[in-house]
Amino acid sequence: MMRQQIGKALSRAQKQIERLDAQLLLAHVLDVTREHLLAHDERRLSLLQSLRFSRLVQKRKQHTPLAYLVGQKAFYGLDFFVNKNVLVPRPETEDLVEYVLQKIENLKGEKMLLVDIGTGSGCIPISIVKTHKHSNIQTLAIDVSKTALKIAKKNAQKHGVNIQFLKGNLLKPILKQSDHLSISPFDHVFVTANLPYVPAADYKQQPSIQKEPPLALLAGSDGMDLYREFIPQLLKLKDLTSASVSCIMEMDPSQIVPLSALFKNKPEVIKDLSGRERFLFVTL
């Protein structure tokens, strides 16, 4: 088999998948930047490199997320390890991080507990702690998946941030250890939650997300089961501490109104950069 040039390999691949995807996959195979790849398109691939590239192209054609194929995803200016055990970080979730950072800036002098629920790859708390470098923040990240927590811990180590990871469902690890909050009194508890919110019917109709873990996406027939379970826990958390408790939640725009109704006081509705109502923010 003749060794093919980079340019010809890309041309063939681009007939099956998006041009940018093909370039990023081949750059990954060759362990070079995309810019280097395009500047040396006359370079010839080895047989092993050609075969590996071909396999990745086929997987991408079958809707495997690009992030899983290259093993990482950029989020809020940082690179995160990802694999099939965690949800691929979405651009709209960067808006959640940005909003939290603005709120934290206003609470600079306060002792704060940051709690991320359903942490997955850990991209939300790691981005917040890494960016803000707030000396008075203690950070907890919770996930029900043991394999997801392994990835989150790996990412925390990569970025040099100190986060305590707990395995469990939603806020239960904290509610079971209510003395955790009384040992070190906090002025403010800030909870971030990007829980699964995809309805079962939508999941079946979207091949692009069916390679991602259902546990990180699905939440009943209307996508709100986990938030219905989480919000009462959040209210109970407030009863356990004298600190102020704030929470920001990401969800589908169609879920904003019914989930807002679960609070006595109407939460603030926040739009993402595309102008869609995406987040609820509440202070208890």
CATH no. for residue 57?
1.10.8
The pLDDT assigned to 177 comes to 66
Q: What's the structural domain count of the chain?
A: 2
Q: Is residue 211 part of a domain?
A: yes
Compute the distance between CA of residue 123 and CA of residue 156 in angstroms, rounded to an integer: 9
Task: Quote the domain boundaries for residue 25.
Answer: 6-62
Q: Are 247 and 234 in contact (CB under 8 A)?
A: yes
Compute the distance between CA of residue 88 and CA of residue 123 in angstroms, rounded to an integer: 10
Q: Is residue 206 part of a domain?
A: yes
Kindly give the interhelix angle for 19-30 and 47-61, rounded to the nearest 10 degrees: 140
Q: Is residue 70 part of a domain?
A: no
> pLDDT per residue over 128-187, tens digit each?
999 987 668 899 999 999 999 999 999 999 999 999 999 999 999 988 765 555 545 788
86 and 10 within one domain: no
**Residue 262 confidence (pLDDT) above 60:** yes
164 and 37 within one domain: no
Classify strands 277-283 and 268-271 as parallel, antiparallel or unpaired. antiparallel
33 and 128 within one domain: no
38 and 87 within one domain: no
The pLDDT assigned to 186 comes to 86
Q: Are 141 and 120 in contact (CB under 8 A)?
A: no
Q: Angle at the Cα of 233 (from 278 to 112), degrees rounded to 5?
A: 75
- Cα 152 from chain centroid? 10
213 and 98 within one domain: yes
Instruction: Please give the helix or strand (H or E) that residue 201 lies within, else none.
Output: helix 200-205
Stated pTM of the model: 0.91
Q: Is residue 32 part of a domain?
A: yes
Please list the residues that pair with 74 across neighbouring strands: 79
Q: Which two tokens stand for residue 116?
A: 């991320």
Q: Which two tokens stand for residue 188?
A: 């403010």
Could you tell me which residue, 206 or 248, shows the higher pLDDT? Answer: 248
The pLDDT assigned to 80 comes to 98
150 and 56 within one domain: no
175 and 47 within one domain: no
Of the candidate ranges 20-24, 242-246, 250-254, the one whose mean pLDDT is the lowest: 242-246
